[in-house]
């Protein structure tokens, strides 16, 4: 088993313009490209775990989200990194369809992290979860990860460098 890094998507890796799903609205948070590149160069698997309740609320479709995620992965590759996998929760407690309200995957539940860890042979105890909300941190903690609260719009490299050094022995050059 190997360690990995798990990121929330909106307001952590990408700028959140409210239920982001349009490719033309895609934008990285500050220094994210360099941070992802550093993780990739250090052979740290990169995962995204994201609540996407806009699907349940019928604001956007699975296809919209999938296209947005493909675009995000393409942009990460163009920046010299690789997103290993993305897990998402399509549910929302305010969905009009009762079947789309309740689930066991919406953060702060650790389900998405557990699923990715099983699929990719990841040691959650050696891994890190980074997000901008308490629910992200709780999901990481419930999964057994080291968890860190990111301040949106702060430079990701400055935030991530001490975490990578402490948990992965990686320092920026």
Name the 3-class secondary structure at 76.
helix
Distance CA 125, CA 107 (A): 18
- Is residue 122 within 8 Å of residue 45, measured between CB atoms? yes
The DSSP bridge partners found for residue 90 are: none
> To which residue do tokens 């604001």 refer?
59
* 8 classed as catalytic: yes
CA torsion angle 110 114 116 119 (round to 10): -160
Catalytic site residue from 8, 64, 132, 136: 8
Name which of 9, 14, 5, 69 is nearest 41 in CA terms. 5
Options 10, 64, 132, 136, the catalytic residue: 10
Secondary structure letter of residue 63 according to DSSP: H
Is 10 noted as a catalytic residue in this protein? yes
Give me the active site residues, please: 8, 10
């Amino acid at each position: 088993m190997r360690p990995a890094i798990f990121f929330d998507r909106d307001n952590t890796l990408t700028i959140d313009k409210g239920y982001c799903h349009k490719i033309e609205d895609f934008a990285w948070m500050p220094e994210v490209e360099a941070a992802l590149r550093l993780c990739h160069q250090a052979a740290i698997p990169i995962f995204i775990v994201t609540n996407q309740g806009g699907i349940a609320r019928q604001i956007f479709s699975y296809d919209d989200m999938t296209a947005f995620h493909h675009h995000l992965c393409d942009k990460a590759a163009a920046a010299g990194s690789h997103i290993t996998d993305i897990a998402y929760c399509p549910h929302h407690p305010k969905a009009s369809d009762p079947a789309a309200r309740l689930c066991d995957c919406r953060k702060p539940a650790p389900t998405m992290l557990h699923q990715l860890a099983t699929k990719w042979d990841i040691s959650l105890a050696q891994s890190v979860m980074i997000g901008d909300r308490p629910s992200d941190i709780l999901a990481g903690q419930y999964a057994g990860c080291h968890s860190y609260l990111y301040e949106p719009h702060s430079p990701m490299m400055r935030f991530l460098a001490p975490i990578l050094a402490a948990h992965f022995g990686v320092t920026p050059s």
